[in-house]
Chains A and B, each alone.
Chain A
Amino acid sequence: MKRSLYLCALLLLGTLSIPLLPLADPAAVHPELALAAPTLAPWWLPRSEPNSSQWNERAREALFGPRELAPLWGRDALGRCVLSRTLYGARASLLVAVVASLAALIIGVSVGASAGFFGGRLDSLLMRSTDIFGALPLIFMVIFAVGLLRTYRTAHPETVLNPNLALLGITAAVSWIPAARIVRADVLRLRQATFVEAARCMGTRDSSILRLHVIPNSMPVALTAWTLTVPRVLMLESFLSFLGLGMEAPDVSWGVLLRQGHEALTAVHLSWWLILAPALALTVTLLLLNHLGEQVRIHLAPRRGEAP
């Protein structure tokens, strides 16, 4: 359990500190070096524009000197450093994953707890909504919403409406369902708990029972549901972006990288490093998150507490 937490904390820290790492500019284009294969030497290249004004670049200067890591993982079709793009892509992918899954969790817990606790018609209504949402065709919804927003943005380039928001929204909209069901089941169990009955006997209001007793006690389950949702959302975003329905250039995410890598693949130029890099990053992260989810579940399960 602890090991998983440390690794995930490391992941988080790593992701946040990417601007401070001595990486090449992910957007810097070098057409003359297109599709360069991965090399092991040299490790360092001189930085192209030293002494920039941005704070992270100055910090980077101070830490690592006026140099950047060479494209150890090769370059893509436009000569951009794959290593750099993969790491920068982590930020977008993980940001979407965490935000969307948190949104999904909040919706899921609210729906599940209300349905489970109040029962009756509210329960039926909410659970039927869950079924409806579950039945919606994801791909069509995404195509529709993202396509709509892209068209709108092309027509109105100054708008704040970002197709990525649609991606976030729709991803959250489909991912809250398992969390809702899991939380509802736990709340149904808690509703029968003796201490809830005791709370009723002493005159605690229903809303207080929900707030003080039911939701805190269903948090372990909700947390487990969340740790299992994050990898799913991550995978979803990568999948959609790979299909061209999610994030698109110039945004960088693992799905986008996979798509670009796939496009650059021809019978002549087998630039395997373009696909391997994001795929490896995605796989490792998914494994790590799934492992964490397992550990959370195991660790929190006996927390009920028994006398020795």
Chain B
Amino acid sequence: MTSLMRLENATLRFESGVRALSDVSLSVHAGESVLLVGESGSGKSTLLRALVAVQPLDQGQVRWQFEDRDFDPWHAEAALVRAHRRHMGFVFQDSLAAFDPRLSFSRSLSLPLRAQNLVPSSEQLATAFRETGLAPELLARKPHELSGGQRQRAALARALITNPRVLLLDEAVSALDVSLRAQILSLLLELQRQRSMAVVFVTHDLAVARTLAHRIVVMLAGRIVENAPADQFFAGPLHPYAQELLTHVLPPDPRAAKQALAQEPREGALSRSGCAYALRCPSAVPECKVRVPELVPRGERSAACFLV
């Protein structure tokens, strides 16, 4: 499978000392839906920004391969990088903050095209809105004049306007009401099918992940701890942390939810040395606190655990 974007051994430490990414490698393949799952501070949003070369890394590489060339955007000519940005679209969590408050949607939507030295036609803009379920008349409005659900659709329209091959979304439905969430998710599925795009979606919600994923990637404390095809993952995760995440999902069914809640939550902070989960893991062995486990391949999946 062609890998469109890759991170190789990416490591990043913030000024505050926090290890945002530690030796992270991930490939995004054409047409594939990768769901990056993790809790706050796991590094998933940072990974996303590293992929689009907006967040520089301390160590490791980003590589893009959309046309014939396979290159590192941080070490290429600005014009080449800029041209390649048309292959990616980004949707943020906060749709109000994602738009310049002074610009109308028609202006905001034409910006990605202008960045590519293209002149947008009003028909193009109208089509973009219609495809995401918005009336073209709304193009004249400003961001604060639309509801949250409509705005996120507009954000999607903006991300898709250059016909990208990869759509990257950072918690794009987390701020929306439940009934709107379903609308956006179904829209995403349809658009992905129509356009055969790759999708990289960051979320903390495993149920949302189930809806969209071909593949699940679980992150903890800046590392990937499990990478598996969705069906295999939901049938039974390999990594103890991923298992814990799955048990804590509360379904809207009282019996199952109470059962999930009754599970004794695991106590313990994250470990600074060795495996981050070492202090909470019920199956931890002494080595877990000393050495960091590498991702061990098991068929189509891999997990970073000594016991796999």
Contact = CB atoms under 8 A, between A and B. Distances in A.
Q: Which applies to chain A's interface (DSSP): helix, strand, loop or mixed?
A: helix
A304 B101 contact: yes
Interface of A: 193-195, 197-205, 208, 212-213, 216-217, 303-307
Contacts of B143: 305
Contacts of B90: 198, 201-202
Nearest to B151: A307
A56 B210 CA distance: 81
B111 A307 contact: no
Given A202-B112, A212-B111, 6 more contacts: A194-B97, A200-B54, A203-B116, A205-B115, A213-B100, A307-B145
A305 B144 contact: yes
B239 interface: no
B243 to A, nearest CB: 34
A205 B112 CA distance: 11
A203 B84 CA distance: 8
A175 B54 CA distance: 37
B146 A307 contact: yes
Contacts of B98: 194-195, 198
B82 A195 contact: no
Interface string B43-75: 000000000101000000000000000000000
Interface string B104-131: 0000000110111000000000000000
B101 A203 contact: no
B54 A202 contact: no
B99 A195 contact: yes
B190 to A, nearest CB: 23
Given A194-B97, A305-B144, A203 B54 contact: no
Contacts of B52: 201
Contacts of B54: 197, 200-201
Contacts of B142: 305
A195 to B, nearest CB: 5
Contact of A307 (B86, B88, B148, B162): B148
Contact of B92 (A198, A203, A216): A198
14 contacts: A198-B92, A198-B99, A201-B88, A202-B85, A202-B112, A202-B162, A203-B81, A203-B112, A203-B115, A205-B82, A212-B111, A304-B144, A307-B96, A307-B147
